[in-house]
Chain A
Amino acid sequence: MPKKAAEKKTCGNCRYHNTYEYPDTVFCFAKFSNRENPVISIFNSCDEWEDKLQECYCLEEALAKRGKKPK
């Protein structure tokens, strides 16, 4: 995974994420608790973003998948 992408704030590396449709969408329980739409793209992010509590392949695999798509 390119370093810049990994360091970028995204839902796929935020502590609030759970996988929903792996690896493309995540389920955000913080949003769900606030009655907002909880199913969001792994590349999104918001002000509630929190780092580091999850180590997973979501973002890496979503990036790889996006890279493979024809333009």
Chain B
Amino acid sequence: MVEREDFLNTPVVHMKLNSNMTVDQLIQQFKKSGSFGAGRLASACDAYEDMVRDKDCTVFLALAGAMVPAGLRTTIADLMRKRLIDALVSTGANMVHDLIEALGGHHYQGSWFVDDYLLYKYHIYRIYDVFVPEEDFVKADETLIKMFEEIATKTDSKPMSTNELMSEVGKRLKDPNSIVRSAYESKVPIFLPAMRDSEFAYIHRVHQKRSPPGKGLLVDAFKEVPELLDITSRSERLGMVVLGGGVPRNSVQHAALMTGKGLDYAVIFTTDRPEPGGLSGSTIEETISWGKVKQKANKVMVIGDALISFPLMTASVLERLGPGFHRKGNP
């Protein structure tokens, strides 16, 4: 039986801040508080540190929401090079935005308080307070459509997985800050389980119109499933960091379930709520009921803006690991 004093073990220690503290020192103060979002973020740092220090753990990043347009592109590319991410499962849109910048385009700091019809008339697209000029999309589309033609010729229009396609695209890029390029160089697979729900659909459509019948690029949506399962089955342990949720989160969880393993580590950053029943807001406990996360997993869900929490966690863990830390890729 749980005794009364079991509830009163660890007092809240009030945060002590100073003018020259590092990110990890701030996180340690969060840990001493142990409360609310601060406590959860401190737990997320511990869980991610454990995940990457575990030599036999394959670390997945599940990426949804417009994290790349908002500035996480280089961070993710760097984490891949350090093999602090072993596999990426993303929305198609995040990779499109990576490619827009890899091919010379930009995202701009804007405002949410703006006349959107005016933006429409100026051919500018808005992602909350980030602006993207239409011409940067168009120029990326033009290059990618031609790249698709080259890849289709090379592969003789044989069915490819999204991962194989991203590898072929990455091979053709030069930008070292690109996630797709970094993945290619670091041999980190990129899976896009909802690829067609993005500009890739339009790129493929135009490519198809330009190609002779039966000669276009063919992406088989199911081909990535055995590729993902191969990774989860060969991995001793499995970890995932989730930004947002959606299809990428469930693709990782489902792969862990399909190999009968379940995840050993789970760090989820979301703002979603569980009550409406959507996957992005589902608690990790709910995920345990499906067998997708192990009951004894090292797990935490951080409720808040991933664009704030994820860089804080990453900076804290990089500080703990130090510059000499080397991690081999898994599996």
Contact = CB atoms under 8 A, between A and B. Distances in A.
B4 interface: no
B134 A18 contact: yes
B122 interface: yes
Interface string A1-34: 0000000000000000011111000010100111
Determine chain A's interface SS by DSSP, over half rule: mixed
Interface residues of A, number: 16
Chain B, interface size category, equals 10 to 19
B135 A18 contact: yes
A57 B122 contact: yes
Given A32-B145, A32-B206, A57 B121 contact: yes
Contacts of A18: 123, 134-135, 137-138
B210 interface: yes
Contacts of A19: 123, 133-135, 138
B142 interface: yes
Contacts of B210: 32-35
B14 interface: no
Nearest to A60: B121
B105 to A, nearest CB: 12
A33 B206 contact: yes
A67 to B, nearest CB: 19
B209 to A, nearest CB: 4
A55 B208 CA distance: 28
Given A21-B135, A22-B135, A27-B138, A56 B209 contact: no
Interface of A: 18-22, 27, 29, 32-35, 38, 55-58
